[in-house]
Amino acid sequence: MPAMEQHQHQFLKMQALHWLKHKMTDLCAVEVKYSCRRKKRTADAVGISFRRREARIIEVKTSRQDYFRDDVIASPSGYAAVADYAYILTPAGMLKKEELPAGYGVMEADEYGKITIVKNPTRNKKPALKLDTLVRRTSRAATNAHLFQEENKLSKGHQETAYSRSPVIQMIRATCPSCRKRHPYVIHPGQNTVRCRGKSCKTEVELARARMTIVSQYNGTFIKEMNAIYGDISEED
Ligand SMILES: [Zn+2]
């Protein structure tokens, strides 16, 4: 898979996870490994609802070649065969309805990753895997992802300090709708847009739609103490 396509695949997989989280609320994970009929498979995103006793799988396809090359989708160990509901998630307009295998729903993501259902899936009344098996597989994937994240956090240090109360400046991360990169930005709290810092991109990014996360934030005390060390920054230039 070319790098750009890989990047978009990763991006859509995370959007799929957010969608499942919103829909299922109980247990969701990406890259869930399972085996069925002696085939080892990996589902891009799985969501489990215990109340409804059902599993949903979302398979991300970012190009037509990628989709038509895939022989898992329609196979007896494919996503629609093992879960109660399965979807293909693509960029808007990539596939025509009549190009989809039976049973699958279709979801499309806009350039910000917002997902719309184009076609509903049909329920598989006899999934090839027990719900319990998918629960176990999904739990494993979720636990691995969590531990991986914890390790990342340890190497970064923490951010909740006396300097972060009543912030006047924030360091954030936001996703650009054009180049799909998540860059860090420094903004004022309440600022609505930033200019993508991608070298050849420079797209105006609407923060409300760009899955903005605050990395750290600083208040007046911090600025004052920093100025005391470095000299007044506003006078520099
Ligand atoms: Zn960009």
Mean pLDDT of the chain: 90
Mean pLDDT throughout 43-59? Answer: 96
pTM (2 d.p.): 0.72
Residue 232 confidence (pLDDT):
60
Ligand 1 centroid – CA 195 distance (Å): 8
Q: How far apart are the C-alpha atoms of 55 and 130, rounded to whole Å?
A: 10
Residue 16 pLDDT > 90: yes
Residue 50 pLDDT > 80: yes
Ligand 1 centroid – CA 66 distance (Å): 24
Ligand 1 centroid – CA 116 distance (Å): 23
Contacts of residue 20, defined as CB under 8 A and 6 or more positions apart, other chains included, come to 28, 45, 46, 47, 56, 58
| Alpha-carbon separation of residue 140 from 29, 136, 147, 184 (angstroms) | 9, 6, 11, 31
Model confidence over 74-94: pLDDT tens digits?
999 999 999 999 999 999 999
Contacts of residue 149, defined as CB under 8 A and 6 or more positions apart, other chains included, come to none
Model confidence over 171-207: pLDDT tens digits?
999 999 999 999 999 999 999 999 999 989 999 999 9
Whether 92 and 61 have beta carbons less than 8 Å apart is answered as: no
Confidence of residue 230 (pLDDT cuts 50, 70, 90): confident
Ligand 1 centroid – CA 91 distance (Å): 17
In this structure, the strands spanning 167-175 and 105-109 are unpaired
Surrounding ion ligand 1 within 5 Å at CB are 176, 178-179, 196, 198, 201, 203
- Structural domains present in the chain: 3-152 (3.40.1350), 162-235 (no CATH)
Q: What percent of the chain has pLDDT over 70?
A: 93
Ligand 1 centroid – CA 194 distance (Å): 10
Ligand 1 centroid – CA 201 distance (Å): 5
Model confidence over 94-103: pLDDT tens digits?
998 889 888 9
